[in-house]
Amino acid sequence: MSPLLSVHDLVVQFGGVRPTTALSGVSFDVAPGEVLGLLGESGSGKSVTLRTLLRLHRPESTRIGGRILVEGVDVLAMNERALQRYRGGVVSLIFQEPGLAFDPVYTIGEQIAETIRAHEVVDRATARKRALQMLDRVQIPQAARRLDAYPHELSGGMRQRAMIALALACGPKLLLADEPTTALDATVQIQILLLLRELQRETGMAVIFVTHDIGAVIEVADRIAVMYAGRIVEEDTVEGIVSRPRHPYTAGLLASTVAESHRGRPLATIGGAPPDLSALPPGCAFAPRCRAAGARCVAERPTLHRIDSHALACWHPVGGDALVA
């Protein structure tokens, strides 16, 4: 089966006095109906990746290299008109903070209906009816009342559900979810995760789910790509990542996750801090924080090497037997 999305050697650099390389050689595929989790600390490049897939960065201050193919079409070669059809119609985004994503002066129903009319030839009444159906679909209680509510009149969980309804209004083939549960309490987080998984299975759409929470990504993803300093350092099925993490950074993330079995023991941490993206070292960016780092790690950057479902960029992986030459 051909991938729905193929990203090849994606490089994103933001200009300024000190140019910042936010993404460096990122490559991955997403199959139709697959859920890929992008996992990593803040600043690892997860959200930049999603925004680049929709070309949301300011072109005058951003340099993008590589290729982004959606159903074989190069997104980086699209003109403005093609981009308007692509955004929301083919690929849609759930923002991290829906309170900022919605326009505060229009009702929820108006914004969903306007999105539908921007992509489809329907009248206002039909678009409004579809907007109501979408609010019902994302399990918003008293949806008819919420249709005429303004964003500030909804709770955080309700706004996130409305954001999901907006993102799915035109039936996208790929949904990008940028840490959609970060600002919510634990109970609502679980509800949103279950809702996203249910909608994904119901519609058959592909999803890229961005998070720093290993517990959340395990609940929804089929495959996980671990990012660090603008690069993918490990990729595998969820089972493979959880049962046998090979990159020291991946192992550190798993070890630092709170679990009931850790009660009474100190929480493991990853020492140090993420690197400055405007001054990346010549070798592995994780080397200054890695206990297994050697001279080669400091001097030479490991490339991502793939064997079957697993990919790894590390000179000294956990358990030995490096997958890079």
Average confidence (pLDDT) over 183-199: 86
pLDDT of residue 268: 79
**Mean pLDDT of the 18-27 span:** 93
Q: Does residue 325 carry a pLDDT above 60?
A: no
Inform me whether the pLDDT recorded for 323 exceeds 50. Answer: no
Q: Are 112 and 165 in contact (CB under 8 A)?
A: yes
Q: Where are the domains of the chain?
A: 98-171
pLDDT mean over 126-135: 96
Lowest mean pLDDT among 17-31, 145-159, 255-269: 255-269
Average pLDDT across the chain, whole number:
91
The percent of residues above 90 in pLDDT, for the chain, comes to 74
122, 151, 155, 313, 314 from 95: Cα distances, Å? 26, 14, 16, 30, 32
Q: What is the mean pLDDT of residues 267-276?
A: 86
Name the residue among 268, 213, 164, 186 with its Cα closest to residue 38: 213
Provide the pairing of β-strand 62-70 with 73-74. antiparallel
User: According to DSSP H, which parts of the chain are helical?
Assistant: 46-53, 80-89, 98-101, 108-119, 124-137, 143-146, 156-168, 186-203, 214-220, 238-243, 248-255, 295-299
pTM over 0.85: yes
The one-character DSSP state at 272 is S
pLDDT number for residue 258: 65
Range from 243-247, 271-275, 316-320 carrying the lowest mean pLDDT: 316-320
Residue of 185 and 113 predicted with greater confidence: 113
pLDDT at 324: 43
CA angle (194, 196, 197) in 5-degree steps = 65
Q: Is 190 exposed, middle or buried (0-12, 13-18, 19+ CB in 10 A)?
A: middle
Q: So what's the pLDDT on residue 234?
A: 97
User: Is the per-residue pLDDT at 322 higher than 70?
Assistant: no
pLDDT at 260 over 60: no
